[in-house]
Amino acid sequence: MRGVDDLADEVMKIGFACTRCGACCTEVSGDSNLVIVSPAEVRAVAGAAGIPADEVADPFPEYLDGEDGRRFTFDWCLRREGGRCRFLGDGRCRVYAARPWICRTYPFMLDGDRLIVSECPGLGRPIGREAAVALARALLDRQKAEAREEAGIRAVMEAVPVPSGSVAVIDSEGVWVVHG
């Protein structure tokens, strides 16, 4: 696993400062703003927005086909309305304090020890050491949270069958039939 300082050094070399353009919260190209969220993140966003959890997210839109008419996908994506995240209001995030890991760390993500950088107009702008360290910590925490969620999904898959003929979401807390 990468160290915080080493990762912060790399972020500083690349440079990043959010321009508040909102592009990462808007579908600018096919599925560009799909924000995958765990059940815990769904609850956090629901709490911040003051809405029921079942109005926060939709099933991740790539399904796998199983036997006996089973179809399933893993985890959820923040709901979009007209291609925009439903929590984007007047160019600002309405659930900023509770925004998911993907939003906290965009345009960066870790693939193992490799830092992946997505398109963003904020890249190349100077970033201070403190902000780079905070971003590096968030990236490492995100990686741990994603590993926990993946392990949870694997455990659910071993323990809970998707009912025959159903379309379901499998997350770390269970199997949720979305169409019977």
Contact footprint for ligand SF4 (CB under 6 A): 25, 35, 78, 85, 87-88, 93, 95, 99, 103
Q: Give me the half-sphere count of Cα atoms (radius 13 Å) on the Cβ side of residue 163.
A: 10
Query: b/e string for 19-28 if b means 16 or more Cβ within 10 A?
Result: eeebbbbeee
Output 74 or 101, the one with its CB closest to ligand SF4. Answer: 101
Output 25 or 46, the one with its CB closest to ligand SF4. Answer: 25
Report the nearest approach of ligand SF4 to the CB of residue 41 (Å): 9
87: DSSP letter: T
Report the nearest approach of ligand SF4 to the CB of residue 114 (Å): 23
Report the nearest approach of ligand SF4 to the CB of residue 73 (Å): 19
Report the nearest approach of ligand SF4 to the CB of residue 70 (Å): 31
> Where is 167: in which H helix or E strand?
strand 167-171
Output 78 or 136, the one with its CB closest to ligand SF4. Answer: 78
Report the nearest approach of ligand SF4 to the CB of residue 123 (Å): 17
CB 73 within 8 A of CB 176: no
Output 25 or 169, the one with its CB closest to ligand SF4. Answer: 25
Q: How far apart are alpha carbons 152 and 160 in whole angstroms?
A: 12
Locate all alpha helices (DSSP H) within 28-128, ordered by sequence.
39-49, 101-105
Output 88 or 168, the one with its CB closest to ligand SF4. Answer: 88
